[in-house]
Amino acid sequence: NYGFIPQTFCDNRIAELARSKADKAISGGDGDPLDILVLSEHHIPRGDIILKARPIGGFCLIDDGEADDKIIAVLKGDKVFEQYHEISQLPTGILERFEHYFLTYKSLPDAPNICEIAYSYSREESH
């Protein structure tokens, strides 16, 4: 389940952190609310825009030179995913799916990839 966190903003503070940790040229934040991937055993209809989730980490995506962080969270009370409290506890296959999606979702045939994952981070940093 993919959405955004209301009243947040991927701004120059996020970009500065990304520059310092990834040692890459990053022009700024993407200017959008922070993106969130909510892990749950339940289907969440598109119209359900407000839910309670617990962040467990995230990763810094560089999208065409801009920071575009992705927060990973667990739906509160979810019976399958509530056991995870840190991104490092997730099965490797789940993280690989996220990485594959975000590394390729803007890719065009025969064009260079404009997205890269600079690093992942813990629950503490995701707050």
Architecture per CATH, 2-126: Alpha-Beta Complex (3.90)
CA dihedral (101, 105, 107, 112) positive or negative: negative
Residue 81 in contact with residue 90, Cβ under 8 Å?
no
Residues in the chain: 127
Average pLDDT across the chain, whole number: 90
For residue 88, give the 3-state DSSP assignment: helix
55-70 per-position pLDDT tens digit: 999 999 999 999 999 9
pLDDT score for 48: 61
- End-to-end Cα distance, the chain: 19
Mean pLDDT computed over 8-26: 88
| Pairwise CA distance, residues 78 & 30, whole Å | 31
pLDDT at residue 127, rounded to an integer? 77
Q: Domain extents for the chain?
A: 2-126
Stretch 2-13: mean pLDDT: 87
Q: Global pTM?
A: 0.88
Q: Assess whether pLDDT exceeds 70 at residue 47.
A: no
pLDDT in tens, 107-119: 888 888 789 999 9
Check pLDDT > 90 for residue 74: yes
